[in-house]
């Protein structure tokens, strides 16, 4: 016989959701662990935004076309994408603590090797491997935070994403300052002291979450994903660097065909294999199709604007590297402030209102950046646009982080990895296409403005679709 709950008596579902149990109690040193793991995330953010200020300098110094120099950023992102599912499986089998610490060691060593690279080929290779180390680290970091915070993991993971805006502030400023007083080689050395601190503190503070058997590694799926991304990037880059002449067509057409073929095979593989590196049920099931598409375009806007706004300012308005990099300080400040607001409101309003409002602000910021300055200087105009971009990012990031995990609450690590993966894919597409367009255009500044408008249009369209996502308040 069933028992009907009386008024004021919580149901089983409500009790499980709202009542903390012993196994989910937060651990004593969770705040110190959060600081260590957040510092590791800051390293990843610094490495991405600081390098963005040096693209034109590296292009001139190494005498390399700007379209290929963009691979310094996109190669790093590809490495992360490929390593994200690998990092989750390694953490499940060997322990998140061990994987996290080894990834930090690799990341720190590779950042030093980037600084010593004498040519573009070596630099791109080191950046790819550095991205692999960062991609392995991120799922382990999410698992460590979730384990240490127990039933408060929703707020902790939402706050964890708010670390990225700090890198958006410090990275461009450090990058511009280092370029002004030294050279682009030294930009990569900024992370070396941070890596040593994270390795030392993490070894003493971080506890290992429970392990499980992750199953077999999907080598075929990873290979198909790598083939899709790399051939697509080659097609876009060669189109921008060589153009549509005989040489360009001879490379672009086969590369594009290979990208489409590999992409089709990857989707078919994901639909047929239950334990695929990216299972189809997490790509398109239970509203995740809308959420993944949203993250794809959010990544294009968020990562793309961080990487390309300094380049856009330099090519359209001929700003100095330090001034162009400082524009992202406004973006970072807006993001930090609104991230705190978003985290505080998540349980009260749910994620959907914050997600939609934030995406609207991002669209407005992109359109402002593309428009010519109105009764002010380009520096102030772009600073306002960047601050609005940051405010939208701050509202959106924690909400989008929790939205996907609300849809599949039992697979936090997998959904978190997919969120990062789709954002990185969006960032790769934005950076590759924009740098290729800027390199090929007779008016690089105008080409950058058109790219911003196109991105704003796409993001506005997906915002309307994201309004269909279910909302959820409270803990999960």
Q: Residue 6: is its pLDDT beyond 80?
A: no
- Measured between alpha carbons, how far is 396 from 363 in angstroms, rounded to an integer? 12
- Measured between alpha carbons, how far is 80 from 337 in angstroms, rounded to an integer? 27
Task: Please give the share of the chain, as a percent, with pLDDT higher than 90.
Answer: 4
pLDDT recorded at residue 245: 55
pLDDT recorded at residue 73: 77
**Cβ pair 198, 134 in contact under 8 A:** no
End-to-end CA, the chain: 29
* Mean pLDDT across 308-327: 78
- Measured between alpha carbons, how far is 257 from 261 in angstroms, rounded to an integer? 6
Neighbours of 346 (CB within 10 A): 24
> Where do the H-state alpha helices sit in 6-70?
12-18, 30-52, 55-61, 66-69
Burial class (CB in 10 A: 0-12, 13-18, 19+), 193: exposed
Q: Residue 23: is its pLDDT beyond 70?
A: no
- Measured between alpha carbons, how far is 121 from 201 in angstroms, rounded to an integer? 34
Confidence of residue 18 (pLDDT cuts 50, 70, 90): very low
DSSP string, 258-270: HHHHHHHHHHHHH
Q: Of the candidates 319, 325, 338, which has an alpha carbon nearest to the alpha carbon of residue 184?
A: 325
**Cβ pair 216, 275 in contact under 8 A:** yes
DSSP string, 361-408: HHHHHHHHHHSPPSSS-HHHHHHHHHHHHHHHHHHHHHHHHHHHHHHS
H/E segment holding residue 183: none
**Cβ pair 238, 259 in contact under 8 A:** no
pLDDT recorded at residue 176: 72
- Measured between alpha carbons, how far is 292 from 283 in angstroms, rounded to an integer? 7
Q: Residue 8: is its pLDDT beyond 60?
A: no
* Mean pLDDT across 101-130: 88
Q: Residue 155: is its pLDDT beyond 80?
A: no
Q: Residue 10: is its pLDDT beyond 60?
A: no
**Cβ pair 333, 394 in contact under 8 A:** no
Burial class (CB in 10 A: 0-12, 13-18, 19+), 77: buried
Confidence of residue 409 (pLDDT cuts 50, 70, 90): low
**Most confidently modeled of 139-148, 297-306, 358-367, 371-380?**
358-367
How confident is the prediction for the chain on average, in pLDDT?
77
**Cβ pair 160, 34 in contact under 8 A:** yes
* Mean pLDDT across 201-211: 79
Q: Residue 5: is its pLDDT beyond 60?
A: no
Cα dist from 36 to 39, 126, 146, 196, 300, whole Å: 5, 25, 14, 11, 28
- Measured between alpha carbons, how far is 105 from 98 in angstroms, rounded to an integer? 11
pLDDT recorded at residue 20: 39
Q: Residue 200: is its pLDDT beyond 60?
A: yes
Give the model confidence (pLDDT) of 236-271 as tens digits: 666 655 455 565 677 778 888 888 898 889 888 888
């Amino acid at each position: 016989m069933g028992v009907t709950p009386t008024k004021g008596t919580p149901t089983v579902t409500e009790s499980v959701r709202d009542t903390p149990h012993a196994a989910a109690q937060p651990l004593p040193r969770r705040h110190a662990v959060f600081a260590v793991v957040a510092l590791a995330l800051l390293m990843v953010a610094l490495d991405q935004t600081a390098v963005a200020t040096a693209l034109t300098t590296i292009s001139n110094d190494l005498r390399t076309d700007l379209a290929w120099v963009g691979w310094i950023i996109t190669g790093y992102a590809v490495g992360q994408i490929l390593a994200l599912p690998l990092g989750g499986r390694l953490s499940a089998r060997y322990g998140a603590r061990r994987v996290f610490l080894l990834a930090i060691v690799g990341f720190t060593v590779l950042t030093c090797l980037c600084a010593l690279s004498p040519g573009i080929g070596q630099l791109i290779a080191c950046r790819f491997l550095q991205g692999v180390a960062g991609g392995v680290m991120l799922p382990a970091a999410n698992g460590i935070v979730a384990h240490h915070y127990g039933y408060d993991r929703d707020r902790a993971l939402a706050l964890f994403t708010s670390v990225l805006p700090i890198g958006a502030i410090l990275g461009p400023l450090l990058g511009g300052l280092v370029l002004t007083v030294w050279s682009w080689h030294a930009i990569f050395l900024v992370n070396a002291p941070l890596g040593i601190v994270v390795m030392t503190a993490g070894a003493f503070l971080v506890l290992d979450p429970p392990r499980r058997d992750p199953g077999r590694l999907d080598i075929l799926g990873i290979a198909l994903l790598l083939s899709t991304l790399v051939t697509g990037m080659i097609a876009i880059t060669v189109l921008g660097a060589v153009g549509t002449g005989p040489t360009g067509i001879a490379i672009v057409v086969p590369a594009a065909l290979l990208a489409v073929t590999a992409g089709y095979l990857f989707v078919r593989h994901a639909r047929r294999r239950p334990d695929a590196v990216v299972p189809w049920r997490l790509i398109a099931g239970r509203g995740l199709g809308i959420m993944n598409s949203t993250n794809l375009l959010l990544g294009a806007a968020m990562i793309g604007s961080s990487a390309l706004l300094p380049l856009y300012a330099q090519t359209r308005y001929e700003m100095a590297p330090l001034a162009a990099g400082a524009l992202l300080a406004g973006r970072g400040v807006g993001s930090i402030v609104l991230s705190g607001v978003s985290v505080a409101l998540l349980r009260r309003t749910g994620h959907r209102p914050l997600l939609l409002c934030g995406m609207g602000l991002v669209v407005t910021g992109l359109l402002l950046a593309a428009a010519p300055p109105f009764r002010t200087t380009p520096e102030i105009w772009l600073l306002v646009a960047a601050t609005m971009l940051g405010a939208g990012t701050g509202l959106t990031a924690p909400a989008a982080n929790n939205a996907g995990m609300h849809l599949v609450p039992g697979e936090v690590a997998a959904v978190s990895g997919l969120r990062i993966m789709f954002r990185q894919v969006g960032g790769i597409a934005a950076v590759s296409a924009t740098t290729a367009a800027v390199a090929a255009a007779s008016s690089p500044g105008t080409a950058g403005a058109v790219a911003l408008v196109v991105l704003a249009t796409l993001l506005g369209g997906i915002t309307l679709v994201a309004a269909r996502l279910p909302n959820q308040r409270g803990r999960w």
